[in-house]
Amino acid sequence: MEPTPSAEAHMREALALARANIPTGGRPFGAVLVREGQVIARAVNEINQTQDPTAHAELLAIRRASQHLGSARLDGCIIYASGHPCPMCLAAMHLCGIQAVYYAYSNEDGEPHGLSTARVYGQMALPPQSQSIPVRALRPSGEQGLYDAWRK
């Protein structure tokens, strides 16, 4: 999908949001979520303001768009992000059906400033048992039927 002139305008808005977030103590990340050419949600990174490590601009835009549209599915939506999405944000985009994502600054651009998530991408590429955070199955004896209960 090739960017259009309106796509560049949406990206400029994401960048303006990111720049405006800096003087308030925020990190330099902004996101604009668009469906059929219309802006559905805008957000900035709020980690420093909220002490919530998941308060990334892309995730907040997804949350706001889902609430606005009344749906956990965002099929056909496009996200314009000032920086390369981290694995958490990209996973959320896959899970909710985002059609495409465009970013202005790469992980390489962010690396000298401590703003790259390339290391996390490296961890995620490893099998779970080889990652730096142990990921192990643990089902207590006698535990069964949770997913069956949900299905009913």
- Residues labelled catalytic: 58
Indicate the pairing of strand 38-44 with strand 77-83. unpaired
Tokens representing residue 115 in the block: 């703003």
What is the C-alpha to C-alpha distance for residues 138 and 19, in angstroms, rounded to an integer? 44
